[in-house]
Amino acid sequence: MLPRTTFLTGAALALAAFTHGASAEEINALVWCDHTDPAFLEPFTQATGITVNVKEYEGTGTALSLVEQSQPGDWDVFVVDSTDVKRVAARGLLAELKPEDFPLADIPPAVQAPELHQVDGVWRAVPEKFGYNAVAYDKDQVDEAAMRKAHNLFDPAYQGKIAVYDYYLPQITQIAILLGKDPKTVTEADLPAIREKLFALKANAALVSDVVTSQTALATGEVGILVGGGEYAVSGLHAEKPNLDWVLPDEGGVRWQQAIGVFETSARKDAAVKFVQYVLSPEGQARLATSSCYWGMPANAAATLDDTQKQVLRWDEQPAFIANSHLYIAPSDELDQAMQSVWQEFLQH
Amino acid sequence: MDTGERASRTDAVRGAAWAAPAVLVTAAFFLLPLAVMALWSLWTRTAGGVDRTLTLANYARFFGESALVAALFNSLETAALVTVVSLVVGYPVAYALAFHVPARWQRLALVLAILPFWTSYVVRSYAWLLVLAPNGVVNQTLIGLGLTEGPVRIAYTMTATVLGFTHFFAMLVALTVYAGLKRINPRLLLAARDLGAGAVSTFLRVTLPLSVPAIATSAFLTFVLAIGDYITPQILGGNTSLVLPQAILFQIGRRGDVPMASAMSLVLMAVILVACLVALRATRTEPAR
Amino acid sequence: MMPRRLARALGWAAVLGGFYVFVYLPVAVLVLFSFQDGRLPVPPFNGPTLAWYGKVLGNGRLLEAAWNSVVVGVGSSMVATLLGFLAAYGLARHRVPGRRLIHAALVLPLTVSYLVIGLGLLVTFNAAGLPKSLLAVAIGHLVINLPLCFLVAAAQMGPAEARLEQAARDLGASEWQVLTRVALPLALPSLFAAFCLSFTLSWDEFVIAFLLTNFDVTLPVVIWSMLRTGLNPETNAAGTLVFAVSLLLVAGAELVLARRGRAAR
């Protein structure tokens, strides 16, 4: 017979586990996965005693659904694509930030982009990291020169060698650029042409995948090209897979940029601001730029990166790259839904 | 008479009291959520909110959008294929275990078959990617045997999804059918032999018909669990032809369209219910023993 | 005659051998690359290191999630086993009106996929203003495990057990005594099996746990997010450790059973 004490112990343990977690100071952050690296978070916790609970997502739509499935006050910090800051702020989700709290002067003007991060002259989020959704490739499998021309991606010679990064915003932006459109002016009327071009890309693609599946596919040699890839997909692997590299297409490429803000409903705004300050500090920036999930360019030019890290990130070429790249399409809610539908069709095509 | 009636009423109350907690849990956490979901499926998602006007728009959209109907058919195709392949792989294994392995080794053999599934499902699925990679075990073996010149693409295809599913469900089929085979009275098999039936004929006319209930049970379980699973197709399928659970999580995860996801879930449920009825009929028409 | 029998035996050995190779193939790869010296758990194998095991054992998030999985699994399985047993007893031993309907309702969740159950609970808890939590996951797992436990317990309620219970009643046992002193001990072996089955399902369940948690997550969810946030052999090491613990438990159970079997003889 099962002793009664087993039942009682079990019940007590269960209660203990369900009620624990009310320790000193904690903040909850909704982030891209680069912010989940313990090497990035732990120095902050050690310095301030504030624990950061992170929940990672890919894509603003995912983040917004998570927010909708939560109670007000659940979240304190939000890492979000710069191009979506206004859309998110329009929902009243982001608190006002005081510019004097952050080292904005160390952030290059093109990255600072107040037109993206301010609403009516008020900062709602500050830029923290950027990079490129360009073309990552395996030097052993494909020719570097060919990868500089994005039109080559549609060449049947590469059929089955291509993985497509599963994020509709940069991909649709890249296609718009290839079709000669300015991403800022894309409307629903442009989607049929974009859809056709996407389907042509799908004909060449072996898989559509998230960051890690893409990395796996490149690392195992399953594919030779990652469309929408960039330093974020391969720079972190440079020591072990020196054959992986990336380029920005000559036709113009896509730049991703993340910003960080504080939730309007947060009850722990002071702690949240402290965390944002840490993220933007030179040390925080260096750790974030070389986080285990993916690397990227620090927004703060004073980030303490060493020479190898700068070389892998192509630090010196940044001015040229920034000039030849566009930020993501910043869609209205309606355009966003329409683009998601196109993307769903693309996956299923 | 009066006392008898009262006794039976007390009896009914007592029985109901014992069953009450389970019934309450099922009502509160299963039936109620289904009802809530059915209600949500009649609402619609708008930019930034939910329109609570009752409408069948989500269902109309589901059957009108080719990508979603394709997801339904992909699901049916995958689940059906997985069911058939798992039966083909699992049945001979069950048969070999039940009749060709010494009785005292059988339990150990079963435990050995289950053990690999106590690793994490998610990690195991990723491990399949490595097994199927161009420089993985399978491709290297094929090339080593001279069966193919270059590596064959298996990972990130529907074949990989079916293979990943079969890994688990062949084991499930083997266990279920093994239990069914062990319940067959050995005297029936001896009698068939005594009456002059050969091994094949005994199998086809006695063993196989008697194991139909076990086949139907395992086929049903395989179909239901496979058609509702997200992990295997998401990791192994390469995201190039979505199944219904992937399409449902696309709605919840990326678009925040809970009403649409609810409608699609109810469609999934309806499909499974039909499968359930089919399986019930299959088991009923055959003799139970 | 002899070669034919030998050929047949070899044939069956090949069937079983092929099956075991198939079943163990991904597990072997998983274990092998947990010892990978380097950041990428992909072929080729660079040589053995135990570094990733050190990382797993030092990873607070992972260990906490494993503990959460144990608590959710044990809690939900215990409740499911208990409620399943009580319901089976009530319906088998008493004339409850609408018995078949109740039976059908209790089994119904078996025919619904986990995704649907998880989504339903998500929508309902959201509407009720209840936050995502491990308790919500435990409730989800209770819903999927209750029908199984009920069926296992119901299969145990045979006429032989009924006679023993009636005998106890005739000797003056109260309803409570019949339940706790006769019915429960008789059902214990199958309840134990039901508990083990429930725990196994809960332990590896992903979709419900994924939908209903935010920060305090279960093991499959944390492994999923580790795999999404960076490829490294640490997840392989975690999977291998889970496997090793299961192996030890099974070996332990086998030893106990073997000893009991010897004692009985």
- Which of the four pLDDT bands, split at 50, 70 and 90, describes residue C24? very high
Tell me whether residues A212 and C231 touch, CB distance under 8 A: yes
Contact of B240 with chain A, judged by CB distance below 8 Å, is answered with yes
Which pLDDT belongs to residue B3?
Answer: 66
Tell me whether residues B256 and A160 touch, CB distance under 8 A: no
Q: Could you read off the pLDDT of A13-61 as tens digits, one per residue?
A: 444 444 444 446 899 999 998 998 889 999 999 999 999 999 888 888 8
Q: What chain A residue is nearest to C195 in terms of C-alpha separation? A: A2
Interface test with C, best of B10, B125, B126, B223 (most C CBs within 10 A): B126
Q: What chain B residue is nearest to A65 in terms of C-alpha separation? A: B256
Which pLDDT belongs to residue A337?
Answer: 87
Tell me the average pLDDT of chain B.
Answer: 89
C232-255: average pLDDT: 85
Q: What chain B residue is nearest to C244 in terms of C-alpha separation? A: B119
Tell me whether residues A209 and B250 touch, CB distance under 8 A: no
Nearest to B255 among A334, A340, A345 (CB): A340
A13: how many CB neighbours lie within 10 A of its CB? 15
Computed on alpha carbons and rounded to an integer, the radius of gyration of chain C in Å comes to 23
More confident residue, C243 or B89: B89
Whether the CB-CB separation of B60 and C177 falls below 8 Å is answered with: no
A-contacting residues in C 71-90 (Cβ below 8 Å): 71, 74-75, 78
Could you tell me which chains touch chain C, where touching means 3 or more CB pairs under 8 A?
A, B
Tell me whether residues B89 and C22 touch, CB distance under 8 A: yes
Contact of B191 with chain C, judged by CB distance below 8 Å, is answered with no
Contact of C192 with chain B, judged by CB distance below 8 Å, is answered with no
Contact list in A for residue C122 (CB cut-off 8 A) is: 69
C190-202: average pLDDT: 87
Asked whether the predicted pLDDT for residue A233 surpasses 70, the reply is yes
Contact of B123 with chain A, judged by CB distance below 8 Å, is answered with no
Tell me whether residues B127 and C93 touch, CB distance under 8 A: no
Q: Which architecture, in CATH terms, is A23-130+257-316?
A: 3-Layer(aba) Sandwich (3.40)
Q: What chain A residue is nearest to B131 in terms of C-alpha separation? A: A220
Contact of B66 with chain A, judged by CB distance below 8 Å, is answered with yes
Which pLDDT belongs to residue B281?
Answer: 80
Asked whether the predicted pLDDT for residue B186 surpasses 50, the reply is yes
Tell me whether residues A212 and C227 touch, CB distance under 8 A: yes
C46-73: average pLDDT: 91
Nearest to C139 among B29, B111, B116 (CB): B29
Contact of C142 with chain B, judged by CB distance below 8 Å, is answered with yes
Interface test with B, best of C83, C176, C205, C221 (most B CBs within 10 A): C83
Contact of C135 with chain B, judged by CB distance below 8 Å, is answered with no
Which pLDDT belongs to residue C155?
Answer: 85
Helices and strands (H and E) in chain B: how many: 15, 2
Q: Could you read off the pLDDT of A151-163 as tens digits, one per residue?
A: 999 999 999 999 9
Q: Could you read off the pLDDT of A165-199 as tens digits, one per residue?
A: 999 999 999 999 999 999 999 999 999 999 999 99
Contact of B273 with chain C, judged by CB distance below 8 Å, is answered with yes
Angle, CA C79 vertex, CA B177 and CA B38 arms, to 5°: 80
Which pLDDT belongs to residue B21?
Answer: 96
C165-186: average pLDDT: 90
Whether the CB-CB separation of B230 and B244 falls below 8 Å is answered with: no
3-state SS, residue B51? strand
- When mean pLDDT is compared over B111-115, B162-166, B223-227, the highest value belongs to B162-166
Contact of B109 with chain C, judged by CB distance below 8 Å, is answered with yes
Contact of A166 with chain B, judged by CB distance below 8 Å, is answered with yes
Nearest to C75 among A10, A220, A237 (CB): A10
Contact list in B for residue C34 (CB cut-off 8 A) is: none
For the entire predicted model, the pTM comes to: 0.85
Which residues, including other chains, have CB under 8 Å from residue C201's CB and lie 6 or more apart?
Answer: C141, C144, C145, C148
Contact of B59 with chain A, judged by CB distance below 8 Å, is answered with no
A166 backbone dihedrals φ, ψ, rounded to 5°:
-80, 70
More confident residue, C120 or C248: C120
Containing A259, the helix (H) or strand (E) segment is: strand A253-262
Q: What is the ipTM of this complex?
A: 0.86
The domain limits of chain C are 58-230
Which residues does residue A326 pair with via DSSP β-bridges, in sequence order? A254
Which pLDDT belongs to residue B287?
Answer: 45
The reply to whether B35 falls in a domain is: no
Q: What chain A residue is nearest to C67 in terms of C-alpha separation? A: A17
More confident residue, B126 or A97: A97
Q: Could you read off the pLDDT of B11-21 as tens digits, one per residue?
A: 888 889 999 99
Which pLDDT belongs to residue C60?
Answer: 84
Q: What range does the domain containing B195 cover?
A: 70-285
Contact of A141 with chain B, judged by CB distance below 8 Å, is answered with no
Asked whether the predicted pLDDT for residue C244 surpasses 50, the reply is yes
Tell me the average pLDDT of chain C.
Answer: 88
Tell me whether residues C250 and B115 touch, CB distance under 8 A: yes
Nearest to A212 among C135, C214, C228 (CB): C228
The CATH number of the structural domain formed by A131-255+327-348 is 3.40.190.10
Q: What chain B residue is nearest to A213 in terms of C-alpha separation? A: B235
> Considering only CA atoms, which of B101, B74, B272, B235 is closest in space to residue B174?
B101
Tell me whether residues C231 and A216 touch, CB distance under 8 A: yes
Q: Which architecture, in CATH terms, is C58-230?
A: Orthogonal Bundle (1.10)
The reply to whether B1 falls in a domain is: no
Q: Is A241 exposed, middle or buried (0-12, 13-18, 19+ CB in 10 A)?
A: buried
Which pLDDT belongs to residue B153?
Answer: 86
Which pLDDT belongs to residue B267?
Answer: 94
Contact of B76 with chain C, judged by CB distance below 8 Å, is answered with no
What does DSSP assign to residue B195? Answer: T
Gap from C65 CA to chain B (nearest CA, Å) = 13
Question: Helix, strand, coil shares of chain C as percentages rounded to 5?
Answer: 80, 0, 20
Q: Could you read off the pLDDT of B49-100 as tens digits, one per residue?
A: 788 999 999 999 999 988 999 999 999 999 999 999 999 999 999 999 999 9
- Which of the four pLDDT bands, split at 50, 70 and 90, describes residue A3? very low
The Cβ-side half-sphere exposure at C163, using a 13 Å CA radius, reads: 3
Q: What chain C residue is nearest to B251 in terms of C-alpha separation? A: C119
Looking at chain A, the domain(s) classified CATH 3.40.190.10 span 23-130+257-316, 131-255+327-348
Contact of C189 with chain A, judged by CB distance below 8 Å, is answered with no
End-to-end distance of chain A based on CA atoms, in angstroms? Answer: 58
Asked whether the predicted pLDDT for residue A10 surpasses 60, the reply is no
Interface test with C, best of B5, B30, B229 (most C CBs within 10 A): B30
Measured distance CA(A59)–CA(A63) in Å, rounded: 7
The reply to whether B9 falls in a domain is: no
Which pLDDT belongs to residue C260?
Answer: 66
Which residues does residue A52 pair with via DSSP β-bridges, in sequence order? A27
Gap from A330 CA to chain B (nearest CA, Å) = 15
- Which of the four pLDDT bands, split at 50, 70 and 90, describes residue C196? confident
Measured distance CA(B118)–CA(C246) in Å, rounded: 6
What's the CATH code of the domain at B240? 1.10.3720.10
Give CA B231 to chain center in angstroms. Answer: 13
The reply to whether B11 falls in a domain is: no
Which pLDDT belongs to residue A212?
Answer: 78
- Which of the four pLDDT bands, split at 50, 70 and 90, describes residue A4? very low
Tell me whether residues A221 and B254 touch, CB distance under 8 A: no
Tell me whether residues B29 and C93 touch, CB distance under 8 A: no
Measured distance CA(B244)–CA(B260) in Å, rounded: 12
C181-207: average pLDDT: 88
* CB–CB contacts below 8 A, B to C: 241
Give CA A116 to chain center in angstroms. Answer: 16
Contact list in B for residue C84 (CB cut-off 8 A) is: 22
